[in-house]
Structure 1
Amino acid sequence: MPRFAWGLFLPAIVLALAEISVRSGWIAANLLPAPSEIFTTIINLARLGLLTHIAISSLRVLAGFIAGAGLAILTGSLVGLNARLEAILDPSFQALRAIPSLAWVPLLLLWLGIDEAPKLMLISIGAFFPVYMGVVSGIRGVDRRLIEVGKLYHLSGTAMVRRILLPAALPAIVTGLRNGLGLAWMFMVAAELIAASSGLGYLLTDGRETSRADIVLAAIAILAVLGKGSDWLMYRLELHLLAWRDTYQPTTSNSQSINQT
């Protein structure tokens, strides 16, 4: 069976159980509509501009992620390569990283108003810290012996970064990018739940205010699909960038042989 089919196995079971539970009256339909009803709601929303909401949210995530991840890569590289800069900046970044997303909203609204700026800023904040952590941990996790080899061959500082530090740190950096993209979607919802007239977060608010659980669940389902789709794209990029790695890949046959051993 193809690998993607295994990934569909659990969602299919959950959807089937939910459909049966609602149709049998075990769960109130106004609290948890049947999956078939949610699908019908998505079709109806598509006729009323759903694609526009999806496009607006996706563009916000893309813009915020590019800004936040770009700044994180630059800052994380400087901090990872300079111990003094790490001592100055890292404690503050760790404190800011602990602030919940919704805590930023009132301040950003006061500073930037209710237009696009606070939404993009909040998404950028969400994307920044996972990528920053990935870059710093990746650089600091490089094997010291690789650095010694670079010095043995008299590599310059730029060549050392390009030929040793960056390739060795790339797995952690890509992991940070994937985590940052996931948080960018989460922070986008937090941004659109307040002071938004479009986007998937707005649909969540609209469904809550109108007591339409089907709209809320439809928006959640679409967010799940978009989040998974964007993560899959990042995964494909990871495979491309890290094609040189020769790492362990678990398979059914390997698992069986390990268990037998």
Structure 2
Amino acid sequence: MTVISARHPALTAPRAAAGFTARPARRRLGLRRQIPFARLLGVALLVGVWSAGASAGLLDRRKLSAPWTVLSTGWQLLSDGQLLTNIEVSMQRVATGVVLGVAIGTTLALIAGLSRIGESLVDGVVQLKRSIPTLGLVPLTILWLGIGDGFKIVLIMLAAAVTLYVPTHSALTGIDRRLVELSEIQSVSRFAFIRQVVIPGSLPGFFLGLRLAVNTSWLVLVVVESVNATDGLGKMMQDAQNYGQADVILVGLAVYGIFGLLCDSGIRILERKVLSWRRTLAD
């Protein structure tokens, strides 16, 4: 009697079918997942180095006060109401200037971006203004408007308008020509074309310009508030300079930085909400 024994083949990994190759693992080329509070890590590192230098006695406290001294001075200014009063005045100036500047800059960008005649009339003037430093207009605006809040708001407005105009106009003129031709073929009305093509196409540039405009407005505010001002954060810092109070100057700089960071973060959040349809490396 013959016994037939079958030997089971060893289990092996399945081979790729003939004519096909194994697909390599996908390599991630974009940014990794977001780090919580990532924007504060650099600030924390800077404060840590500052604190270490102050503790080790490497810093001249007459020129660069320690972080805890700045905190103590800030709390004292906050308690006596001086800091809050100056913050309120500065916020009113920068808010008024930014609102007016955004309205003017957006209007000019639309005129120049949607009309050849408008571009011929507007773009050259705006580019000329870009070549003139905003702070170089301080003497002329004081001559025209006096030393009150008027010239400060006008300079902030001009800086915000020009800064917003450039990326917004660039986004408008950079809209794909094929989208325009497709809209013409579909006999889309001009209002629908602006609503469905122009606005979505220009929003990324608008939000970039808005972030830059707000940041520029804070920079201009620092300078204009130190020119014949009677109140505001810039005036507070100028008085501190005259009396050699480095801690008060650092308090003012910290307030400027905090409000600037909060404004930028708020615009970023709004941008992500409005442009939720867009997928980018940062997502």
Whether these two folds match at TM > 0.5 is yes
1:119 paired to 2:152: yes
| Match for residue 181 of structure 2 among 131, 135, 148 | 148
Q: Is the 8 A contact 2:108 2:122 kept in 1?
A: no
Residue of structure 1 in register with 2:191 after alignment = 158
TM-superposed deviation, 1:38: 0.6
The one-letter code sitting in structure 2 at the alignment partner of 1:116 is D
| Match for residue 199 of structure 1 among 209, 232, 235 | 232
Query: Over residues 24-62 of structure 1, what are the superposed CA-to-partner deviations in whole Å (9 max), with x where a residue is unaligned?
Result: 221211011101101111001112321111111111111
Question: Structure 1 or 2: larger helix share?
Answer: 1
Residue of structure 1 in register with 2:92 after alignment = 59
* Unmatched runs of 5 consecutive residues or more in structure 2: 1-32
| Match for residue 129 of structure 1 among 140, 159, 162 | 162
Q: How large is the RMSD of aligned CA atoms in angstroms?
A: 1.6
Residue of structure 1 in register with 2:64 after alignment = 32
Q: Is the 8 A contact 1:33 1:213 kept in 2?
A: yes
For 2:217 and 2:146, how far apart are their aligned partners in 1? 20
Query: Over residues 119-138 of structure 1, what are the superposed CA-to-partner deviations in whole Å (9 max), with x where a residue is unaligned?
Result: 11011011011111122111
SS in 1 for 2:59: coil
The one-letter code sitting in structure 2 at the alignment partner of 1:196 is A
TM-superposed deviation, 1:14: 1.8
TM-superposed deviation, 1:4: 4.1
Aligned CA distance change for structure 1 residues 26 and 202 (closer, same or farther; 3 Å): same
**Matches of residues 12-91 of structure 1 in structure 2 within 5 Å?**
12-48=44-80, 49-91=82-124
The one-letter code sitting in structure 2 at the alignment partner of 1:245 is R
TM-superposed deviation, 1:100: 1.8
SS in 2 for 1:72: helix
Residue of structure 1 in register with 2:43 after alignment = 11
| Match for residue 212 of structure 1 among 238, 245, 249 | 245
| Match for residue 105 of structure 1 among 138, 150, 165 | 138
TM-superposed deviation, 1:235: 1.0
Residue of structure 2 in register with 1:256 after alignment = none
The one-letter code sitting in structure 1 at the alignment partner of 2:238 is T
Q: Is the 8 A contact 2:168 2:206 kept in 1?
A: yes
| Match for residue 175 of structure 1 among 208, 220, 244 | 208
Calculate percent identity across the aligned residue pairs: 30
TM-superposed deviation, 1:209: 1.0
SS in 1 for 2:135: helix
Aligned length: 250
The one-letter code sitting in structure 2 at the alignment partner of 1:30 is R
For 1:84 and 1:9, how far apart are their aligned partners in 2? 48
SS in 1 for 2:37: helix
